[in-house]
Amino acid sequence: MARSLGVSLAEAYPQVAAMWLQERNGGLTPQKATPKMQVAVWWRCAAGHEWEENISTRTALPKWKNGDVAACRECVGYRVSYTYPTCGHTAMVTPEAAAKKHPRCWKCQQQWWRENEPRMKAELSAAAKAAAGRAAELLDAVPVPKDVPAPLATEWRWWAAKHLQGAIAAEEVMGKQGRREQVLAQVTRAAATLLPSKEAAGRAAAGEGQGVLRLLDQAHWAEGWLHHLTGRRPRRVQAEHLELVAWQLGDLLATWSQEAAEDVAEDRAEGGRPPTTADFTRSLTRVALSMKEELLEDSVLAPYARAYRELRLPVVPDGKGRYGRLDVVIWMPGLPDVVVEIDSAPNAASAQKLAFARDAGAYPLWVRFGSGGIEKIDDVMVLDIRDAVRGVCEAGSGG
C-alpha cells in the first residue's frame, strides 16, 4: 500500500477515510487530504463516537490501536468521555483520569486558580501548619533502617514531613483525595533506601576517585563522613598553611572594604541609604567566592576548581531541624577544600559546621562582622572585620 505524501488519505488509508465526518469538515475531503497533513478534522466511528484530531495523528499506529490504524480510542477503552461536573465541559480522557473525578477541565481549573490563588495559598499554608502533628504520627510508624546515620535520618524526616503536611492540606482544602496515601508511600520508599550506612560509607571512601557524598550527588567530604560514621581520627591541615589561606582572604577583604567605603560614600552623597546586614552578607559572599581565582591564579588546576554557595554537609547543628549548609566552599582537585562561614553575630551553628570542616581536613575560615564577641575555635581561623564594616557604614556620613 502506498504511503507517499502525494497519495490521498482515501487511497492510502481507506479504513480511516471511512470515519471522515464530512458535514463538519467543510470543503476538505479524504480525496483531497494527505495522510501526514497537520490539520485537525472531525471523525466518527461505527459506534457513533465523534472527536476532532489531526489527520497525521489519526494515521499513526501507536500501541493502543493494537494494529488497527482506524481504531477508536473510546471503543477500545483507551479514552472515555468525561463531563466535568463544575464547568460542564466534556473531554476524552484516560479511564484513570476520569476516576479521579476532577471538578473542572484543565483550562477552567487554571482560570479558577488564577482568580483564587492568594486565598488558596493562605488556606493551604494554614492547613499544612495545622497538620504537623498528624504528619509526625504517620512518620513515626515508617521503619527507618537502624544503621542509617542520624543526620541523614533527620534530613529525610524534615523532607518527608513537609511533603506529608502538604498532602494533608491538599486533601482538606482542595479535595485531592488519596494524596496522603500517595505521599506516604513515596516517603516510605525513600526511607527504605536511605544511604549511606557505615558499610556503604567505607566502600565509597575506599573507591578510586569516589567520595561518600557522591551517594548524595555531592562529591565532597568523604573524610568527614568517615570520621563521623566510623570514629576515624580527624585529619587537619597544617597551621601555617591555614594562616596562608586566611591571609589571602584577608587581603581580598581589605581591598573590598576600601572599594565598598567609596561606593557607600558616593551613594550617600546622592541620597542613598546605608547598606544593611543582608547587603554586607551578599557582598562578602561574592568576595569569598572570588577567592577561587586568587588561590589558583595561573595554576593548571584552575579550570577544574569549583566554588559553591550553600553547600549541604552531614551535620545537624544543635537546635536545627536539618543539615547545615556552608556559606562558601571552594573545591580544588587534590587539595584541601576552603570553607568560609560569614556571620554578622555569634552563631553556634556556624561553629559546629566549621569544626566539622576542620576535622574533615578543610581550611576553615570564619568571617565575622557586625555585633557581638568573637568565639575562638581550635584550628579555625577567624577574620574579624567588624571595624572595617563599621568604617564602610560610616563612609560619607560626616561623623
Q: How do residues 58-107 score in pLDDT, each as one tens digit? A: 999 998 999 999 999 999 998 888 999 999 998 888 888 888 888 889 89
pLDDT tier, 212 (very low <50, low <70, confident <90, very high otherwise): very low
Residue 2 in any domain: the answer is: no
pTM above 0.75, yes or no: no
- Domain stops at, among 61, 78, 95: 78
User: What single DSSP character describes residue 60?
Assistant: -
Residue 190 identity (one-letter amino acid): A
Gap between the Cα atoms of 296 and 244, Å rounded: 13
Q: Is 152 left (phi over 0), alpha (psi -120 to 50) or beta?
A: alpha
Residue 106 in any domain: the answer is: no
225 and 247 in a single domain? The answer is no
- Residue 334 pLDDT greater than 90, yes or no: no
274 and 215 in a single domain? The answer is no
Task: Determine the pLDDT at residue 357.
Answer: 83
Residue 384 in any domain: the answer is: yes
Residue with cell 566539622: 356
Which residue, among 230, 284, 226, has the nearest Cα to 252 in the 3D structure? 284
Question: Long-range CB contacts (< 8 A, 24+ apart) of 297-303?
Answer: 301/332, 301/333, 301/334, 301/335
225 and 257 in a single domain? The answer is no
pLDDT tier, 128 (very low <50, low <70, confident <90, very high otherwise): very high
**30 or 235, higher pLDDT:** 30
254 and 206 in a single domain? The answer is no
Residue 334 in any domain: the answer is: yes
Residue 95 in any domain: the answer is: no
275 and 361 in a single domain? The answer is yes
Q: How many domains does the chain have?
A: 3
**311 or 284, higher pLDDT:** 284
Residue 181 in any domain: the answer is: no
Torsion of CA 350, 356, 358, 364, to 10 degrees: -30
Tally of CB atoms within 10 A around 302: 13
Residue 352 in any domain: the answer is: yes
Residue 316 in any domain: the answer is: yes
Task: Determine the pLDDT at residue 196.
Answer: 53
279 and 302 in a single domain? The answer is yes
373 and 323 in a single domain? The answer is yes
Strands (E), the chain: 40-44, 50-54, 80-83, 90-93, 306-313, 324-331, 338-343, 363-368, 381-384
| Sign for the pseudo-dihedral over CA of 121, 125, 130, 134 | positive
Domain range for residue 361? Answer: 239-394
210 and 292 in a single domain? The answer is no
- Residue 17 pLDDT greater than 90, yes or no: yes
- Residue 2 pLDDT greater than 60, yes or no: no
**327 or 227, higher pLDDT:** 327
- Domain stops at, among 179, 207, 230: 230
**Chain centroid, CA 315 distance in Å:** 20
Residue 185 identity (one-letter amino acid): A
Residue 48: C-alpha distances to residues 43, 51, 208, 301 (Å):
9, 10, 66, 71
- Residue 184 pLDDT greater than 90, yes or no: yes
248 and 226 in a single domain? The answer is no
Gap between the Cα atoms of 306 and 391, Å rounded: 32
378 and 334 in a single domain? The answer is yes
pLDDT tier, 325 (very low <50, low <70, confident <90, very high otherwise): confident
Q: What's the burial of 82, exposed, middle or buried (CB within 10 Å: 0-12/13-18/19+)?
A: buried
Task: Determine the pLDDT at residue 232.
Answer: 53
- Residue 219 pLDDT greater than 50, yes or no: no
250 and 377 in a single domain? The answer is yes
Residue 293 identity (one-letter amino acid): E
338 and 206 in a single domain? The answer is no
- Residue 333 pLDDT greater than 50, yes or no: yes
User: What single DSSP character describes residue 304?
Assistant: G
- Domain stops at, among 60, 78, 96: 78
Q: Is 49 left (phi over 0), alpha (psi -120 to 50) or beta?
A: beta
Gap between the Cα atoms of 90 and 96, Å rounded: 16
